[in-house]
Amino acid sequence: MALRTIFYEEIVNQVAAMCLEANFELGQDVIQAFQTALKKETSETGKDILKQLLLNADIARSERVPMCQDTGVSVFIVEVGQDCHISGGSLYDAINEGVKKGYEEGYLRHSIVDHPITREKSKGYNTPSIIHIELVPGDELVIHMSAKGGGSENMSAMKMLKPADGVEGIKDYILSIVAQAGPNACPPLVVGVGIGGNFERCAYLAKKSLFRPIGHRSERPEIAELEMELMEKINELGIGPQGMGGNTTALDVKIEIEPCHIAALPVAVNLNCHASRHKEVRI
Amino acid sequence: MSAIDLLNPISEQELLKLKAGDRVLLSGTIYTARDAAHKRMFEALERGEELPFDVKGQTIYYVGPTPAKPGHVIGSAGPTTSGRMDKYTPSLLDLGLKGMIGKGYRSEEVIESMKKNKAVYFAAIGGSGALIARTIQSVEVVAYEDLGPEAIYKLTIKDFPAVVIVDSEGNDWYKIGKLQFKQGQGAD
């Protein structure tokens, strides 16, 4: 079977366009979630904040300026069809070049330090990106991109629970992380949860869950039910928009699960701010 | 709910009247500084040097804006998480800093220092950087230009929306606001 060829330059250009779109155009899923929340929110300050965020999204879209000054770390999950061939250079280089192009040309912020301890700024504008590759059947390249902000990422956490802690332990842990994050993670949040796998896999599952659109439920009925139950409990915490009180603390809760060791129950909570910037392109 | 118009630098009389939860529209002159600028200012003080600007009576906004597009005064310019500045803040409050704008929790140590020095902490809406940029009328670099978005800038603002989170008596709106809407026995 012949391999399908995908050219380096096309990836660069598609990625650059995604970076701009993610930062300028608030997703329709988020806009709808804000509108739904506005009807339910009882806090006057909370309602006002939601309205200002909708107005902010309008300004960003019409003026082609970033909705938030934290234009984030570009995180990619790339589904590489095993029957496709990338011509002209490495996939990693193509993605980083696209990010650099998009961020520089779009007047987005360069927010990457090369060295976490010396804090020396990276030479490549807002790169390197964080790139996860998943090999899949077929000959397509599907690029999922998220512009992930630092404020919400900083309040994310992970814990190796005991199997005996069970579902109650999982719920308590997730609620405690959201409560601890309070205003810092820019609520209303999208709460991404990974359960199972192992130490590094669990964190990845939590991140991956954030790439699903708001309102999209898990295909597993028991997990979909857990997502909805947690959403309700989180909204009872009272944190509200921007932590100033209210009943809109989460716009959604996403859970991804995977098999794990008989001794293990890893749980990771990756918080996302209300902008929940994620885009997808299929090449 | 109406908002209080507040000119920066804020007079002591106006500042003492502010209560946690008050909505304000800030105008006047403020300074920007975030992680890297705070570290440099802190280190300058440790070496016994002067700060690049006199913080006495002033307001600092925790922000690292995006680059300005041609024809724009500033790029997107919303607040960053204030807690990262907590380590450096009491020294600035002791030198007379009166206002801070950011988002998120402050440490007990910062709140104690605010009570002692009669200062106020405002939160702007995180993630509304495009909207806030419209309230910024001029930008002038003051120090540490090499830090790019993390340099210290002097901003002239007009009707910048914010909420008083911690007032000069140490009342914390994040605690008060949350309690009004909390249901059941969930996590604290």
User: Residue B148: is it exposed, middle or buried by C-beta count within 10 angstroms (0-12/13-18/19+)?
Assistant: middle
Among the partner residues B129, B181, B186, nearest to A43 by beta-carbon distance: B181
> What pLDDT is stored for residue B188 in this prediction?
58
Q: Do the Cβ atoms of B76 and A69 come within 8 Å? A: yes
Report pLDDT digits (tens) over A8-58.
Answer: 999 999 999 999 999 999 999 999 999 999 999 999 999 999 999 999 999
What residue in A sits closest to B70 (Cα-Cα)?
A107
The model carries a pTM of 0.94
Rounded to the nearest 10 degrees, the angle between the axes of helix A28-40 and helix A44-63 is 160
Q: How far is CA B17 from CA A181, A269, B14, B22, B169, in A?
A: 30, 40, 5, 10, 10
Quote the Cα angle for A115-A22-A20, to 5°: 80
Residue ranges of chain A with pLDDT lower than 50? none
Question: Nearest to residue A244, comparing CAs of B150, B104, B64?
Answer: B104
Q: Do the Cβ atoms of A52 and B180 come within 8 Å? A: no
> What pLDDT is stored for residue B187 in this prediction?
60
Q: What residues have CB less than 8 Å from B132, skipping those under 6 apart?
A: B76, B77, B78, B79, B124, B125, B160, B161
Q: In chain B, positions 33-52, which contact chain A (CB-CB < 8 Å)? A: 36
> What pLDDT is stored for residue B64 in this prediction?
95
Q: In chain A, positions 30-89, which contact chain B (CB-CB < 8 Å)? A: 42-45, 48-49, 52-53, 55-56, 59-60, 63-71
Q: Are B143 and B53 in contact (CB under 8 A)?
A: yes
> What pLDDT is stored for residue B102 in this prediction?
98
Q: Do the Cβ atoms of A238 and B180 come within 8 Å? A: yes
The rounded radius of gyration (Å) of the Cα atoms in chain B is 16
Question: Nearest to residue B120, comparing CAs of B135, B106, B140?
Answer: B106
Handedness of CA B153, B159, B164, B165 (dihedral sign): negative
What residue in B sits closest to A126 (Cα-Cα)?
B66
Q: Do the Cβ atoms of A107 and B179 come within 8 Å? A: no
**Is any Cβ of chain A less than 8 angstroms from the Cβ of B175?**
no
**Is any Cβ of chain A less than 8 angstroms from the Cβ of B128?**
yes
> What pLDDT is stored for residue B186 in this prediction?
56
Q: Are A181 and A149 in contact (CB under 8 A)?
A: no
Instruction: Give the Cα separation of B164 and B61 in Å (integer).
Output: 14
> What pLDDT is stored for residue B2 in this prediction?
83
Question: Nearest to residue A249, comparing CAs of A225, A273, A270?
Answer: A273
Among the partner residues B69, B80, B105, nearest to A182 by beta-carbon distance: B105
pLDDT tens-place values along chain B, 188 residues long? 589 999 999 999 999 999 999 999 999 999 999 999 999 999 999 999 999 999 999 999 999 999 999 999 999 999 999 999 999 999 999 999 999 999 999 999 999 999 999 999 999 999 999 999 999 999 999 999 999 999 999 999 999 999 999 999 999 999 999 999 988 655 65
Q: In chain A, positions 187-226, which contact chain B (CB-CB < 8 Å)? A: none
CB atoms within 10 A of CB B139: 17
